[in-house]
A and B are shown apart, each in its own frame.
Chain A
Amino acid sequence: MNNNELVNKLKTIVKPYIQDEEAFANLSENTDFITDLKINSANLVDVALDVEDEFDITIENEEMEKMLNVKAAIDIVKAKLGK
């Protein structure tokens, strides 16, 4: 799966939790979940759980620590799928 495909999958996952439509429409690898998409921090846990379900992976709490933006989320998924 290339980065574009991953970004698109992630876009579908975060959609229910975003509060800034404009930032969502312009979502890229540099988009921050909290400062750009205005995702509520309790919903960041939902994002992590939905990512686990979508890619059939387990994200450890230490890995979730960095999952604050699209790029970090993609890196985690890629590392997991690559194993």
Chain B
Amino acid sequence: MEIVDFIRDITIKVIAIAWMLFFLTWVIGWALRGSPIPFLRVKRAGQGLIEDSIWAAFWLAMGSTVFGLVAYIVSTVGLPFPAPPTP
């Protein structure tokens, strides 16, 4: 299971980085939004970053739930079929 372990390692690292990035982006977003600069575009970019980071945090938190749900629903659907009609 080396490949699986390797992929899981990467995934864990990606999750850790993603959490950190979320926080960073959120902070940067608020910093831009709250900065005393009268440029609307900069402030709007800050607003966008805050929104993205919140969504990212949401999907990060929901990750295991999403996959659990997929596994549950698809496995339920994939129950054995009835026997085909015989001519």
Instruction: Decide whether A and B are members of one complex.
Output: no
Which residues of A does B touch, CB under 8 Å? none
Interface set of B (CB-CB < 8 Å, partner A): none
